Structure 1
Amino acid sequence: MAIVINDNNFDEEVLKSNLPVLVDFYAEWCGPCKMMGPVVEAIANEVEGLAKVGKIDVDESRVIASKYNVMSVPTFMIFKNGSLEETVVGAVSKDVLKNKLVM
């Protein structure tokens, strides 16, 4: 299951994680974000123990969204060893995100 990430726990859950982390920047009002929700949850279930998957509501966590220049949603960011490795903007297939996360 995807974890809820916000301005308060971002450093601990993402930057200090020993596992790669897929972060889904989304908004409740965003149609494509709602479409990607089940995809993100499926990835979270499939990579459990190998990677982490988290979701950040950009309307509630403006500090992190601003820090990483999230201009549109959904935006997916992959962090490894505390560093941003890749950014994917827009709805994409499960395989695209999963492969980028666990490769």
Structure 2
Amino acid sequence: MNMLAVNDKTFQGNVRQAGVTLVDFGATWCPPCKVLKPILDELGEQYGEKISVLELDCDESPSVATEYGIMSMPTVIVFHNGEPVEKLVGLRPKSVYESLLTKYL
């Protein structure tokens, strides 16, 4: 399962209303964002259909980034049943994201 790229128009329609969605707020020019991408890809493979992994380019989709108060990148927000429940700013080890997902699955 690859990450699904979303934008201002498609964001809401792709956040799962039931279950867990992990959203990566980043940008193409951001080095830590490039390091995070394969980690999130791995999580998508690992958890399969249990989770949805979205990526949003803050430069291309400023409305959603502003709505969720994204001040630095990468920022990962975990949504549970359509509501934001956790926000991680900066690059973290894979284990941190795993423990967050486990908490909501």
TM value normalised by structure 1: 0.93
Shift of 1:5: 1.5
Q: State how 1:49-60 maps to structure 2 within 5 Å.
A: 49-60=49-60
Structure 2 equivalent of residue 10 of structure 1: 11
Amino acid at match of 1:30: C
| Deviation of the 1:64 alpha carbon | 0.2
Amino acid at match of 1:7: D
Q: How far apart, CA to CA, are the structure 1 residues paired with 2:3 and 2:98?
A: 13
1:19 aligns with 2:26: no
Q: Which moved more, 1:63-72 or 1:41-50?
A: 41-50
Q: Partner residue of 1:80?
A: 80
Gaps of 5+ in 2: none
Alignment of 1:81-100 (within 5 A): 81-100=81-100
Is contact 1:20–1:102 with CA below 8 Å preserved after alignment? no
CA distance in structure 1 between the partners assigned to 2:80 and 2:71 by the alignment: 22
Percent pairwise identity: 34
Q: Which runs of 4+ in 1 moved over 4 A?
A: none
Aligned residues between the structures: 102
- Structure 1: state its 5+ residue gaps: none
Q: Return the offset for 1:44.
A: 1.1
Q: How far 1:10 sits from its partner (Å)?
A: 1.1
Instruction: State how far apart, in whole Å, the 2-side matches of 1:69 and 1:44 are.
Output: 25
Which residue identity lines up with residue 17 of structure 1 in the other structure?
Answer: Q
Q: Determine the structure 2 residue equivalent to 1:32.
A: 32
C-alpha spacing 1:94/1:82, structure 2 compared with 1 (3 Å) = same
Q: What is the alpha-carbon root mean square deviation over aligned residues?
A: 1.0
SS in 2 for 1:79: strand
